[in-house]
Amino acid sequence: MSAPRWRWNREEVAGSLGDLGTFLPLLVAMSAQCGLSFPAALFFAGAFNVITAFTFGIPMAVQPMKAIAAIALAEGLGAGEIVAAGMWVSAVVLALGLSGALGWIQRSIPIAVVRGLQLALALTLLMRGLKSVVSGSAPWASDGIGLAILAGLAVLVLRNSRRVPAALVLFLAGIAIAWIGAPQALASIRLEPWWPTLALPTLAELRAAWWSAAFPQIPLTLLNSVVAVCALSADLFPTRPAPPAKVAVSVGLMNLLAGPFGAMPMCHGAGGLAGQHRFGARTGSSILGLGIAKMLLAVLFGASLTAACGVFPASILGVMLVASGLELGAAARELGGTRTHAVALLTVAGCLALDNFALGFAIGLAFDQLSKRLEPESSP
């Protein structure tokens, strides 16, 4: 008997919040530092949450493209260059998905390398979450290590609770703490109707974005947002895994359709799927509700939401990221013998040591091929 595509309960609501630890910090940072349109990013992320819910029927996340976000924040890219980079990546991924080349790519990648990528992503989420925790104001104050400890205890105590989902408790607690600590930021939220308008990148921005941000993002999108997320979906939802070609087309269309309106570069990610599953999401209804909420907030309150999102406790977001990393790491634990473990661990080491998932992938793939050649043949 196949699992239901829709389920309406508090666990789905809680699960929909499981990716906020990645989504909110990157969106707020790019809006504040690079001039990216906050309402446009929020609105189109919501729109594609809704479309994704009907397309896949599982809690497939809609996330910022992390490499583009990191480069944009480090190098001070403008909003037009950020949008252009997302459009470039989507064009490449869409072409691979429609041509059928992506299926061949996925079949050619050993499962040990995919598991290594998942584990590297899990460790990255863990480290980012811990960094977010220590970035709070001060221990035992409104945001800091003390609050993170309490949030972590809440996750442990409520990890199997169906009546009181952990993510929902953390989200409501975060809003309450933000209100106490920075009432002026939340008080600045006001009705400020907004609607999408064209904001096309210029030719100069398109040229600059290819080398500065798009090219480094392409391998990560193919590996994490297509190959790894499809492998994870098969682990978590064996009766309805996400097909690689369908995921590639989804990622491709997202930014080609939303980019001309100034939306942030978006993709699907294994970490987001793991996080939403960890906090209770099991069907498309979780992200359907999340998407509708994002769109309504953007249309009704516009840019006035930026300051409010910026004061949400970083320590709570960090704990949610840590939980997401643990969920993703657990999905990567099933491997075969010693050789496949070695391939996976070398892939992890390459990704983290070089801080480059594409190079880590290449190292893991090369070692897999070399170890196969050196492995003694079985006796007849």
**Residue 123 pLDDT > 60, yes or no?**
yes
Q: Give percent of the chain above pLDDT 70.
A: 89
pTM score, two decimals?
0.75
Band (297; pLDDT cuts 50, 70, 90): very high
Once rounded to an integer, what is the mean pLDDT over residues 236-258?
Answer: 91
CB 193 within 8 A of CB 68: no
Name the average pLDDT for the chain: 82
Band (138; pLDDT cuts 50, 70, 90): very low
Gap between the Cα atoms of 159 and 220, Å rounded: 30
CB 189 within 8 A of CB 301: yes
Domain ranges of the chain: 10-370
Strand-pair category, 63-64 with 266-267: antiparallel
Once rounded to an integer, what is the mean pLDDT over residues 214-233?
Answer: 81
Res 262: pLDDT: 93
Beta carbons within 8 Å of 3's beta carbon, 6+ residues apart = 237, 239, 240, 282, 283
Once rounded to an integer, what is the mean pLDDT over residues 32-47?
Answer: 90
Task: Give 91-122 pLDDT, tens digit per residue.
Answer: 999 998 898 887 777 677 787 887 787 788 77
**Residue 54 pLDDT > 80, yes or no?**
yes
